[in-house]
Structure 1
Amino acid sequence: MLRHKNAMSTWLNNAWYVAAWTDEITDTPIERQIIDERVVLWRQDSGDYAAVSAFCSHRRLSLANGRVAGNRIQCGYHGLEFASDGRCMTVPCQNAVPPGADIRGYPVAERWGLVWIWMGSAARADPATIIDVAHWGSPEWGYNRGAAMAYDCNYLLITDNLLDPSHVTWVHRTSFGGTSGDAEPMRIREAPDGFTVSRWTSDTPVAPFYRELVPFAGNADRLQHYEVRYPALAVIKAVFVPAGEGGDNAEANAHAFMMDSYNFITPETSGRSRYYWFQMRNIRPGDTELSVAMSAAVLAAFSEDLAVLNEVQRGMDTATGPTISIATDAGPLRFRQRLERLIAAETT
């Protein structure tokens, strides 16, 4: 049975979460909520990004109401200045910094046009563990992205969705879905960092979203590859090849269309999440108009998920009686169970 209401008593703290797109953070500080903690981020004069607890240790004004002073952030109420590690460096009205003035600083890193924040023990923060993006910077692959999306639901509902290829038939009828060979069995694979649910569908019409993208006519074999890593990162791979040519070696097919969708879910609270995303594609890499069109089409499709999942959260919060699980829940259930064990191990 899937448990959604109060499904997690804590979060996975020792993990990298996306805090913002790099172009969202300037020398004007911004506030974000990440796993129930308020943080303020800014760009230092050095060009590096920084993050500290949101509230000044004096009168608790959010430092987002302050200003950047060199590499420090300055409170907008009485001018206390904090370094990127949270140390209070200056109290303008007196010579000494009083005990207890320091706040928490957070490790941050820049990767893939995103600013990442480590919410756990700073000693364990290793930017090398941030997810790798295949084909990033390749002249043979195109790129598109969209603005972050706000979901009014628990992040686990989103990871459930991202480990469930079958939902596209019902939620995305006019975009990613269509006739998708719903009877094809799923393959579930476990790795140290998460789970993958995938399947090949055979000899079906190309789904509406992809019709103008695939470089061949007629029906297709299609790979649906849904991979979710702890705590809430997903790589969704779509591969289309001419009917009869699908299989594990299909990516080498000269006619293959491939799109890798990278999806990063940042829990804000138990009932609210932010969703960052971008796609890589193996066709028309320099086509700006195509990138803009794809971003708009992806946003429309993801908005279909958003509408459904917000309603699912409402149902979980208000309905009475038990919920059931069905065959397509196998991947999400195993992911949740393993994540619960990781969180339990961290908290003990």
Structure 2
Amino acid sequence: MFLRNAWYVAGWDREIGTALHPVTMLGEAIVLFRRQDRTLAALEDACPHRKLPLSMGRIKGDTVECGYHGLTFDGTGTCTRVPGAERIPHVARVRSYPVAERYGLVWIWMGEASLADPAEIFAVDHWGDPAWGINQGDGMTIDCNYLYMTDNLLDPSHVAWVHQSSFGGAGTEETPLQTTVGEDGVTVWRWMMDAPPAPFYAPFLKFSGHCDRKQHYEVRYPSNAIIKAIFAPAGSGGEGRPFHQDVFLMDSYNFMTPIDERRTRYYWFQMRNFAPNDAEISAQFATSVRGAFEEDRAVLTAVQKGMDDKRTPNLDLKIDNGPLRFRRRLTQLIEAERASSLAAAE
């Protein structure tokens, strides 16, 4: 079901302060906390004694004290105190997870700790570039399997029906899709030429009239995506051509963390090539994007229910080529990881 040797987003760094912060990721209960120097620790959220969640305890300096009998654990998961015991049992420890902070997000490595490399965290182009603005991120829980979300983020065509007042527009119904398969993921894309701009983007374009528009929907294994919106004056766009000086660029970064088989935590933010310090524009984008993603949430929640309750088989269409190829390769990666783990255990 899940690829474990990967970095997943656990939350925004601003969410984790002086209190214990429980999360569930890939079906595993984890508790995050900050040490006195503000660095993060992530532990299995279960005391080994009676499995009370450590998140029901309290922070003591750089350690967590269980709220049931006072067993205390440091950020490595090592038990440092068992009240009333002459010695600490060697099995009195909890799993610790590699954790990193980047782009205002907290990332946890869910697999073999020795394989964790922060350099493999999804790279964000233009982060820190003073010429680019950022729409501060948001998040939501969606009651669906994360693969329905990766399907959605490899499906530019759905905007014509789900997002008619925002991302939709001329060309989004019939223009054929192109699919590119890479080592780290799948991209579905298309150029729509000489068309009116979509309602969501039109107020922010530096040019008037029709546009050449590219939809670039890219999802990398296991569940991170970048959606690139490109709008150029009509006649200036197209694959391989240099950008027009008035081109509109917006990169939407999307991170899906499975909670379990039927729930996903979704985080996002956008980078744009204009108005880098305009808080009002950032707020407008943030509100509009949230509204569009609420439309996705309604659809995906219903899709999960529909697939759970189906009485007849669902069908796949030509537009599903990208999502199906992504699923196929991800399944291969998960099976290979599982086989490697079994071999190591024998």
- Deviation of residue 85 (structure 1)? 1.9
Identify the match of residue 48 of structure 1 among 22, 27, 39: 39
**Superimposed CA distance per residue, residues 200-245 of structure 1 (whole angstroms, 9 cap, x where no aligned partner):** 0011111111011111111111010000000000000000001111
Check the 8 A contact 1:146/1:299 in 2, yes or no.
Answer: no
Structure 2 unaligned residues grouped into runs of 5+: 340-346
TM-score using structure 2 length: 0.96
Check the 8 A contact 2:253/2:270 in 1, yes or no.
Answer: yes
Alpha-carbon distance between aligned partners in 2 of 1:23 and 1:330, rounded to the nearest angstrom = 38
1:5 alignment partner in structure 2: none
Tell me, yes or no, if structure 1 residue 301 matches structure 2 residue 286. Answer: no
- Deviation of residue 249 (structure 1)? 4.2
- Deviation of residue 14 (structure 1)? 0.4
Matched position secondary structure for 1:212:
helix
Check the 8 A contact 1:21/1:113 in 2, yes or no.
Answer: yes
- Deviation of residue 251 (structure 1)? 5.7
Matched position secondary structure for 1:94:
coil
Alpha-carbon distance between aligned partners in 2 of 1:33 and 1:51, rounded to the nearest angstrom = 12
Tell me, yes or no, if structure 1 residue 62 matches structure 2 residue 57. Answer: no
- Deviation of residue 146 (structure 1)? 3.5
Check the 8 A contact 1:51/1:107 in 2, yes or no.
Answer: yes
Check the 8 A contact 1:179/1:207 in 2, yes or no.
Answer: yes
Number of residue pairs matched? 339
Tell me, yes or no, if structure 1 residue 237 matches structure 2 residue 228. Answer: yes
Alpha-carbon distance between aligned partners in 1 of 2:58 and 2:204, rounded to the nearest angstrom = 46
- Deviation of residue 43 (structure 1)? 1.1
Output the aligned Cα RMSD. 1.1
Identify the match of residue 164 of structure 1 among 155, 158, 161: 155
- Deviation of residue 67 (structure 1)? 1.8
Alpha-carbon distance between aligned partners in 1 of 2:171 and 2:76, rounded to the nearest angstrom = 50
Matched position secondary structure for 2:203:
coil
Tell me, yes or no, if structure 1 residue 108 matches structure 2 residue 108. Answer: no
Matched position secondary structure for 1:77:
coil
Alpha-carbon distance between aligned partners in 1 of 2:58 and 2:281, rounded to the nearest angstrom = 39
1:262 alignment partner in structure 2: 253
- Deviation of residue 295 (structure 1)? 0.4
Alpha-carbon distance between aligned partners in 2 of 1:146 and 1:224, rounded to the nearest angstrom = 21
Identify the match of residue 312 of structure 1 among 298, 303, 314: 303
1:281 alignment partner in structure 2: 272
1:219 alignment partner in structure 2: 210
Alpha-carbon distance between aligned partners in 1 of 2:170 and 2:239, rounded to the nearest angstrom = 22
TM-score using structure 1 length: 0.95
Alpha-carbon distance between aligned partners in 2 of 1:216 and 1:91, rounded to the nearest angstrom = 68
Structure 1 unaligned residues grouped into runs of 5+: 1-9
Check the 8 A contact 1:56/1:75 in 2, yes or no.
Answer: yes
Matched position secondary structure for 1:196:
strand
Structure 1 window deviating more from structure 2 (255-264 vs 86-95): it is: 86-95
2:343 alignment partner in structure 1: none
Check the 8 A contact 1:181/1:202 in 2, yes or no.
Answer: no
1:80 alignment partner in structure 2: 71
2:320 alignment partner in structure 1: 329
1:3 alignment partner in structure 2: none
Check the 8 A contact 1:239/1:251 in 2, yes or no.
Answer: no
